[in-house]
């Protein structure tokens, strides 16, 4: 097969992809790819946590997520970390099941990812005390993991981190 075949294939897959030259993922596919040959589950989980943290800091996150929604509408497969979300990977299977400790309602733990404090700190680039404050404020869900560690809801962490960054940016623009 010729390189033009691959060029045409890539172009067909990326039809409608936004031009995001300032995106934090630009030129760094190895961090955002779904799977890397020979990589352990733990290494992939850490790598994807770092990728999500980069997405959270990215100024092009909303444009990326809009493109991702268009891909979903057209039933096109996207894999790796895209728009701060894990796509096309069996990463969720690598996350241990957890048991609710704080809320009375039952949670669908298969649809949520809970990560230990150290990973939460890496993901958000925030301190232990900040993450625990978010929990006390009811902004981040926590669960007791089977290994006895407390896990923090990854989606909540990413949402609160993004809200915090938007609020800081708004305060800077007002000042």
Do 75 and 140 belong to one domain? no
- The 10s digit of each residue's pLDDT in 40-66 is 887 888 788 888 878 877 888 888 888
- The 10s digit of each residue's pLDDT in 15-42 is 567 778 788 888 888 888 888 888 888 7
What is the predicted pLDDT for the residue at 8? 55
Mean pLDDT is lowest, of 6-20, 45-59, 98-112, 144-158, for 98-112
Do 73 and 19 belong to one domain? yes
Task: State how beta strands 142-144 and 150-153 pair.
Answer: antiparallel
How far apart (Å, rounded) are the C-alpha atoms in residues 55 and 28? Answer: 12
Which of 78, 93, 108 represents a domain boundary (last residue)?
Answer: 93
Do 18 and 5 belong to one domain? yes
Instruction: Match 């596919």 to its residue by tokens.
Output: 29
Which of 41, 70, 93 represents a domain boundary (last residue)?
Answer: 93
Answer yes or no: are the C-beta atoms of 145 and 109 closer than 8 Å.
no
Do 32 and 118 belong to one domain? no
Do 150 and 99 belong to one domain? yes
CB-based burial, 116-143: b 16+ in 10 Å, e otherwise: eeebbbbbbebeeeebbebbeeebbbbb
What is the predicted pLDDT for the residue at 11? 53
Do 43 and 82 belong to one domain? yes
Tell me which residue range forms the domain holding 127. 95-175
Do 74 and 109 belong to one domain? no
Do 54 and 4 belong to one domain? yes
What is the predicted pLDDT for the residue at 69? 82
Question: In the chain, how many domains are there?
Answer: 2
Do 44 and 107 belong to one domain? no
Which of 55, 71, 93 represents a domain boundary (last residue)?
Answer: 93
| pLDDT greater than 90 at residue 106 | no
Do 31 and 45 belong to one domain? yes
Do 127 and 63 belong to one domain? no
Do 22 and 6 belong to one domain? yes
| pLDDT greater than 70 at residue 10 | no
């Amino acid at each position: 097969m010729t390189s033009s075949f691959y060029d045409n294939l890539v172009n067909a897959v990326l039809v409608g992809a936004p031009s995001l030259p300032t995106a934090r993922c630009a030129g760094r596919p190895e961090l955002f790819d779904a799977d890397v040959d020979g990589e352990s589950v733990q290494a992939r989980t850490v790598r994807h946590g770092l990728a999500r943290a980069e997405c959270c800091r990215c100024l092009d996150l909303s444009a990326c997520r809009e493109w991702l929604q268009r891909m979903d509408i057209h039933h096109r497969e996207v894999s790796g970390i895209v728009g701060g979300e894990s796509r096309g990977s069996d990463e969720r299977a690598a996350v241990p099941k957890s048991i609710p400790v704080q809320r009375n309602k039952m949670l669908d733990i298969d649809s949520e990812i809970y990560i230990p404090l150290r990973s939460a700190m890496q993901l958000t680039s925030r301190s232990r005390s900040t993450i625990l404050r978010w929990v006390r404020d009811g902004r981040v869900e926590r669960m007791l993991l089977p290994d006895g560690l407390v896990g923090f809801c990854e989606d909540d962490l990413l949402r609160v981190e993004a809200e915090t960054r938007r609020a800081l940016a708004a305060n800077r623009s007002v000042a």
